[in-house]
Amino acid sequence: MALTRRIIPCLDLKNGRVVKGTHFEDLRDAGDPVELAARYNEQGADEVVFLDITASKEARKTIIDLISRAADQLFLPLTVGGGIRTNDDITAILRAGADKVSINTAAVQNPAIISEGAAAFGTQCIVLAMDVRRNFQEAEGTNPIRLPDGSTCWYEVVTHGGSRPTGIDAIRWAKEGEERGAGEILLTSMETDGTKEGFDIPITEAIASATSIPVIASGGVGTLGHFYDGFVYGKADACLAASVFHFGEYTIKDVKEYLAAKGVPVRL
């Protein structure tokens, strides 16, 4: 029996509202997070991700309140990320009603948070979020990946909303995250985020092949075919999208019916 593939809407949050941009910039308002999450729940989403993209101590109260309100209405897993730095942060978010936390910048700065979080809350609660970007300058200890145009690059992990390069090779970091106890990887390519030109298949496939935990593909959906490509060519376990859902281009049902017709196992 093939494992069911998941469709996950992602809600980027700023000041208590859902926003969406391109390459993490030019943000526009996309609505109320609790209303949108409830709509996706009704449409048959497999889970929902909240990302507090401007997380700060001031915004933390806002997000806790939002999680509580959303969790009251949702009957599907809720993953929350943004500004999580300590086990106390993880505790607060899970207590508010989230099922999983997504950790990005803090994991790069302090990889022990992955192992500590997995030990305290279980691997199923810890999602390693990775923002990556192509780097065409050769560097020792990196994994070269061939792109469709025949050129070769390696993928570098970037933090702080894609603004800070780390020098860390994405495949190496994914493997370390798995070893430390992450239960899933949420992979966003800065090359494709918000472009509507499709997922970054080369890095998605490379990380799915290099690890044995589920990989969620993120960044770049514009057509129904892009979901198919993410699963079939990217080998992703789940596909995450934002603007195509927020602005009503497709419903979750549209995506699942299309995939089912193409032989991809989904929960209808």
User: What pLDDT does 208 receive?
Assistant: 98
In a domain, 26, yes or no: yes
Check whether 249 has a pLDDT greater than 50: yes
CA-to-CA distance for 112 and 72, rounded, in angstroms?
Answer: 32
In a domain, 268, yes or no: no
Q: Which two tokens stand for residue 202?
A: 């080369």
User: What pLDDT does 195 receive?
Assistant: 85
CA-to-CA distance for 58 and 26, rounded, in angstroms?
Answer: 22
CA-to-CA distance for 214 and 35, rounded, in angstroms?
Answer: 28
Share of the chain above pLDDT 70, in %: 96
For the question of residue 12 being annotated catalytic, the response is yes
Q: Which of 131, 193, 200, 229 is catalytic?
A: 131
What pTM did the predictor assign?
Answer: 0.94
Please return the burial class of 61, using the count of CB atoms within 10 Å of its CB with bins 0-12, 13-18 and 19+.
Answer: exposed
The mean pLDDT of 88-94, rounded to a whole number, is 94
In a domain, 267, yes or no: no
φ and ψ at residue 116, rounded to 5 degrees: -65, -40
User: What pLDDT does 1 receive?
Assistant: 40
Check whether 135 has a pLDDT greater than 60: yes
For the question of residue 89 being annotated catalytic, the response is no
- Work out the mean pLDDT of the chain and round it to a whole number: 92
CA-to-CA distance for 241 and 168, rounded, in angstroms?
Answer: 26
User: What pLDDT does 194 receive?
Assistant: 79
In a domain, 126, yes or no: yes
Residue 195 maps to which CATH number? Answer: 3.20.20.70
Distance, first Cα to last Cα, the chain: 16
Q: Which two tokens stand for residue 195?
A: 């472009």
Q: Which two tokens stand for residue 162?
A: 């894609």
Region of poorest pLDDT, from 22-31, 107-116, 216-225, 226-235: 22-31
Quickly list H helices, 74-130. 87-95, 105-109, 112-121
CA-to-CA distance for 83 and 102, rounded, in angstroms?
Answer: 10
In a domain, 139, yes or no: yes
In a domain, 181, yes or no: yes
Check whether 60 has a pLDDT greater than 90: no
User: What pLDDT does 160 receive?
Assistant: 79
**Total domain count for the chain?**
1
Judge whether 87 and 113 are in contact, CB under 8 Å.
yes
Q: Which of 12, 193, 200, 237 is catalytic?
A: 12
User: What pLDDT does 167 receive?
Assistant: 96
Tens of pLDDT, residue by residue over 8-19, are 999 989 888 888
Check whether 161 has a pLDDT greater than 90: no
256 contacts: CB under 8 Å, gap ≥ 6: 7, 44, 266, 267, 268
86 contacts: CB under 8 Å, gap ≥ 6: 113
Closest of 53, 205, 219 to residue 132, by C-alpha: 219
The mean pLDDT of 208-218, rounded to a whole number, is 97
Domain that holds residue 242: 6-261
In a domain, 190, yes or no: yes
Q: How many residues are given for the chain? A: 268
Check whether 24 has a pLDDT greater than 60: no
The dihedral over CA atoms of 9, 212, 266, 170, expressed in degrees to the nearest 10, equals: 30
In a domain, 1, yes or no: no
